[in-house]
Amino acid sequence: DTAVSQTPKYLVTQMGNDKSIKCEQNLGHDTMYWYKQDSKKFLKIMFSYNNKELIINETVPNRFSPKSPDKAHLNLHINSLELGDSAVYFCASSRRAANEKLFFGSGTQLSVL
Amino acid sequence: DQQVKQNSPSLSVQEGRISILNCDYTNSMFDYFLWYKKYPAEGPTFLISISSIKDKNEDGRFTVFLNKSAKHLSLHIVPSQPGDSAVYFCAATREGGADGLTFGKGTHLIIQP
């Protein structure tokens, strides 16, 4: 069983579209994250949720909105996609909100044309 | 500004020899450090960590050394095996905080047969 699973694995779309990436973890963790790996290969945190509550919200455009229906799920909605949004997006989870090791999903490669 | 730097984008090592991957950090608030390993099309997986109260942590073939005064850590893999070929990310954070991990750009380790 995959501990942290995200779908889709690949997402190709046109500029201006709205898309969503889903993430689920079956580890019983309290905290979930979205990280972005851009073309320069940096992994940067975007959001963090603890028990469905937002605890980290880095400087990310308003077009990105995370939604956590329960503590096992953290979805990422992106409105009005732009070329610069092309990247690999990783979902992750950790046992609690304290900084400690993260368990990552396999990533979603988003290509905006 | 890169708070975590991995200055070698790639490293080639012969099978059976020692691999040494380096990482430098600039934020003196960081006191917990992790190494992640990433294969293509997969998410990063946790490898080993070290707290600033230690200067060495060992787990099988993997050893992490921390030099706080130099703000430098290194990952030693010995002996290197073909399956170790991957991208290795160094990450740093404030232990007990809730602001996530800060990653370096990664080093691509290639183990030559």
Computed over every residue of chain B, the mean pLDDT equals 95
**Chain segment A20-69, per-residue pLDDT in tens:** 999 999 999 999 999 999 888 889 999 999 888 888 778 789 999 999 99
Q: Give the pLDDT confidence score for residue B87 in this predicted structure.
A: 97
For residues A25 and A7, the answer to whether their CB atoms sit within 8 Å is no
* pLDDT value of residue A98: 72
Cβ contact, residue pair A99, B106, below 8 Å: no
Is residue A1 over pLDDT 70?
no
Residue B6's pLDDT is what?
A: 96
What are the b/e assignments for A17-34, b being 16+ CB within 10 Å?
A: eebebbbbbeeebbbbbb
Considering only CB atoms, B100 lies closest to which of A56, A104, A105, namely A56
**Residues A98-110 pLDDT 10s:** 778 899 999 999 9
Which residues 41-60 on chain B approach chain A with CB closer than 8 angstroms? 41-46, 49
Range with the lowest mean pLDDT among A47-56, B14-23, B25-34?
A47-56
What's the rounded mean pLDDT across residues B7-35? 96
Which pLDDT band, with edges at 50, 70 and 90, does A91 fall under?
very high
Task: Tell me how far apart the alpha carbons of residues A39 and B29 are, in angstroms, rounded to a whole number.
Answer: 28
- What's the gap between Cα A81 and its chain centre? 15
Give strand pairing partners of B14: B112
Nearest residue on chain B to A108, judged by CA atoms? B41
Å between B27 CA and nearest CA of chain A: 15
Distance (Å, whole) CA A72 – CA A55 = 16
- What is the rounded distance in angstroms from the CA atom of residue B27 to the CA atom of residue B32? 11
pLDDT mean over B74-92: 97
DSSP B40: T
Contact assignment for B96 to A48 by CB distance below 8 Å: no
Distance in Å, alpha carbon of A106 to nearest chain B alpha carbon = 4
Residue with tokens 């293509």: B40
**Pairwise CA distance, residues B45 & B88, whole Å:** 9
Angle (CA) B89-B30-A48 rounded to 5° is 70
User: Are A77 and A68 within 8 A, CB to CB?
Assistant: no
A-chain CB neighbours of B97 within 8 Å are 98-99
Element (H, E) at B36: strand B32-38
B105 at the A interface (CB within 8 A)?
Answer: yes
